[in-house]
Structure 1
Amino acid sequence: MARGTGDRETIDRQALEALEGLGGPPRAFQQMNERSREVFRHVVDAFVETGEPVASRTIARRLGSNLSSATIRNVMADLEESGLLYAPHISAGRLPTEMGLRLFVDGLLEVGDLSDDERRTIDAQCAGAGRSVSQVLTEASGVVAEMSRCVGLVIAPKSEAGLKHVEFVPLSDNRALVILVDENGVVENRVMPLPPGLPPSKLIEAGNYLSARLRGRTVEDARVLIDSEIARNAAEIDQLTAKVVEQGLATWSGGHDDGLLIVSGRSRLLENVSALSDLERIRRLMEALETKKDILRLLNESQRAEGVQIFIGAESALFGLSGCSVIAAPLTDQNRRYVGAIGVIGPTRVNYARIVPVVDYTAKLIGRLIG
């Protein structure tokens, strides 16, 4: 890749194409001499710490060696020529490209370990006695968000478990919260519209009616039974309650196939935003978090991995638009059956060495708890 400035997304795309041409990160890493590796590692470390372009004099101070700033500038220029660094503008220092970050993660990253206190923190937050599966997953999302200073994500595939209980909780004159609990203890909530002028007693009646017929059945199985009863006028409820029941089932049938997505710490995406272009990237990612389909698909890719996977920027069509990275691990039960995934989303300059062990340890803990 030629030296100089350019649009960040274009540079990242060109860098990834260059990496493929070199045969991937391992081969590109082998082509670097020891001096280049050391300079490059310090550039990435400084970028992770500050998010700012890194100057040669900064690297000279960090190295504390006899290398002059001029020598380091030449090494950085060679790294830029190789597609590992780029300059956001002519007078700036250098930043790693996404190809450079991938090379760093695959060849130079030194993953640390959690302290005993950090392990105890994760254990205490996730392993509370008497919690349902959904509560455990919610706590797991929260703890990885807090410890990584990123957005925490947990997904669980569509549950095939039978249902146990349903309840309608009024929120206003025209809206209610539908609470559904399955036999594995997973709790999900949905908001549904209400018919005008509905008395609270009708919500209780609808909840009792549904709970009696949902028990041990999936939502779809229960829907077939209830639709048949209502069509034959065999339902032991009046027309107004029947409308609530039908609306509740419709609410649950729609959008449930992709599975459960729990997101914690969305506001962390707004930390350290340095430019309007970054803000636009975050806005687009926020929209993706709301629609959730692409994120579920991306995190589900982690089920093919034995451990933690790292998706950097343009390596995913979704997160390439947002300048973010995803660090994710599969959740497997004691029979090594895939039951979901846990991960974090953050800027591409996240502290990978810090976050990988957090995600890995939490994934293994949750797998034991829900297995």
Structure 2
Amino acid sequence: MSVIPPKPFTEERLSGIAGLDQRSRDIFRRLVDTYLATGEPVGSRTISRILPHNLSPASVRNVMMDLEDAGLIFSPHTSAGRMPTEQGLRFFVDAVMEVGAMPTDERAKIDAQIAASNRQRRVEDVLGEATMLLSGLSHCAGVILAPKMNARLKHIEFVNLGPGRALVILVGEDGSVENRVIEVPRGLPPSTFAQASNYLSTRFQGRTIDEVQRFVRQEMTQLRTELDEISARIVEAGIGQWSGEGDSEDKTLIVRGQANLIENATAAEDLERIRKLFEDIENKKELVQLLGAAEVGEGVRIFIGSENRLFSLSGSSIIVTPFRNAEEKIVGVMGIIGPTRMNYARIIPMVDYTAKAIGRLLT
């Protein structure tokens, strides 16, 4: 499991961090671990008590001053302890944190949820349940971005809307109906749309969009012998609109467990940040764009606070990873949104494992 940082440190900060010895790293790790567990600034006396070797609070304070000079920690008040900066959290996640395996009971919960999912149900409903499960286990908000339609098809129809435009209507066996406007060559006769509709409805009833798309791509030569080339292009364009090849508007965004974010709030300032985060989540276009960007890479991606503009004011982090179908094609992305002081070491493998479980569901 690889974790990908979206941004490098500046050269100035890197020089300070590179000079940290093992003792400084140990103190930094324990400071961040304590902060993530409590949400409170951590003092030198607290660090001194939990270190495995004897080190006075005064010696710890000296090390903490070096960590502050390196930009890894800061003091919110003159007499308070220290907290990690966003750069400090990034350094912790990339270079200090130890990510272990998921607890057996959490893996069992995820496996049981996936095993209980019935293939005859709407895939979107199953993804929604998986998002809720991930939210419950992480005590954060769960998110999934997936193609809009994965149901098995009952009927496909193309309707001419005028020069250069047509409407694709897809009816699923589960009763779902979705419409999408596509661009087509101008001046097409009505028979072209009827021919494309009949071809797809008679041949691909009971198949998913992904299955239809694979067949059309593999059999384009045969397709052109049965349809004229323009009709074939309409078929391919119409299927492409529903296979996840389009822009972010072709995706379904599922968000579950926003209330967990309120439970994580510990002060009035936190509640205001949560209010801002809810506004960010409601602004689905930017959230979809962020999740869509995570689809193009491998491994788990972590965006901490202002590393992404969407969460720059809410002080939140997002951990996301893509999930794949049976052909190892990325078909969506899932993850969690939570406070920057979330338990990264626990949640990273949880997100990664759930994504793989979802992929097994799509085989």
| C-alpha deviation, 1:344, in angstroms | 0.2
Report sequence identity in percent.
49
Distance 2:91 2:173 in 1: 42
Give the one of 312, 321, 328 matched to 1:336.
328
Number of the residue aligned with 2:87: 99
For 1:32, the aligned partner's letter is L
For structure 1, the residue ranges without an aligned partner over 5 or more in a row are 1-15, 167-179, 190-213, 218-254
Give the one of 299, 302, 310 matched to 1:310.
302
Distance 1:90 1:368, change over 3 A: same
Q: Is residue 294 of structure 1 aligned with residue 286 of structure 2?
A: yes
Number of the residue aligned with 1:233: none
**Pairs within 5 Å for 1:243-262:** 257-262=249-254
Distance 1:353 1:276 in 2: 27
Contact kept, 8 Å, 2:264 with 2:339, in 1: the verdict is no
For 1:136, the aligned partner's letter is V
Give the one of 35, 43, 59 matched to 1:55.
43
Number of the residue aligned with 1:133: 123
For 1:89, the aligned partner's letter is H
| C-alpha deviation, 1:256, in angstroms | 8.8
| Cα shift readout 1:277-331 (whole Å, capped 9, x = no counterpart) | 2222211111121221111111112112221111100110011211111010001
Distance 1:145 1:23 in 2: 35
Q: Is residue 148 of structure 1 aligned with residue 141 of structure 2?
A: no
| C-alpha deviation, 1:69, in angstroms | 0.1
| C-alpha deviation, 1:86, in angstroms | 0.6
Distance 1:60 1:332, change over 3 A: same
Distance 1:307 1:95 in 2: 28
Distance 1:347 1:163, change over 3 A: same
For 2:80, the aligned partner's letter is A
For 1:112, the aligned partner's letter is G
| Cα shift readout 1:93-139 (whole Å, capped 9, x = no counterpart) | 00000000000000011111123322121011123233321122111
Give the one of 40, 45, 51 matched to 2:33.
45
Distance 1:31 1:260, change over 3 A: same
For 1:299, the aligned partner's letter is L
Secondary structure of residue in 2 paired with 1:38: helix
Number of the residue aligned with 1:353: 345
Distance 1:270 1:336, change over 3 A: same
| Cα shift readout 1:199-252 (whole Å, capped 9, x = no counterpart) | xxxxxxxxxxxxxxx9789xxxxxxxxxxxxxxxxxxxxxxxxxxxxxxxxxxx
Secondary structure of residue in 1 paired with 2:295: helix
Distance 1:337 1:17 in 2: 26
Aligned length, in residue pairs: 283
TM-score of the two chains, using structure 2 as the length reference: 0.70
Secondary structure of residue in 2 paired with 1:90: coil
Number of the residue aligned with 1:31: 19
Number of the residue aligned with 2:9: 19
Give the one of 98, 101, 108 matched to 1:120.
108
For 2:286, the aligned partner's letter is D
Q: Is residue 157 of structure 1 aligned with residue 147 of structure 2?
A: yes
| C-alpha deviation, 1:164, in angstroms | 4.0
Number of the residue aligned with 2:243: none
Aligned-residue RMSD, C-alpha: 3.2
Q: Is residue 86 of structure 1 aligned with residue 86 of structure 2?
A: no
Q: Is residue 285 of structure 1 aligned with residue 277 of structure 2?
A: yes
Number of the residue aligned with 1:271: 263
Q: Name whichever of 271-280 and 320-329 sits farther off.
A: 271-280
Distance 1:146 1:165, change over 3 A: farther
Distance 1:290 1:337 in 2: 29
Distance 2:49 2:332 in 1: 45
Distance 1:123 1:160, change over 3 A: closer
Distance 2:13 2:174 in 1: 47
Number of the residue aligned with 1:177: none
| C-alpha deviation, 1:68, in angstroms | 0.3
Contact kept, 8 Å, 2:305 with 2:314, in 1: the verdict is yes
For 2:308, the aligned partner's letter is S
For 1:146, the aligned partner's letter is G
| C-alpha deviation, 1:18, in angstroms | 9.8
Contact kept, 8 Å, 2:139 with 2:261, in 1: the verdict is no
Give the one of 315, 321, 324 matched to 1:323.
315
For structure 2, the residue ranges without an aligned partner over 5 or more in a row are 1-5, 157-168, 179-199, 206-246
| C-alpha deviation, 1:17, in angstroms | 9.9
Secondary structure of residue in 2 paired with 1:285: helix
Give the one of 40, 62, 67 matched to 2:55.
67
Contact kept, 8 Å, 1:111 with 1:356, in 2: the verdict is yes
| Cα shift readout 1:159-195 (whole Å, capped 9, x = no counterpart) | 49885489xxxxxxxxxxxxx9854869589xxxxxx
Distance 2:39 2:98 in 1: 19
TM-score of the two chains, using structure 1 as the length reference: 0.69
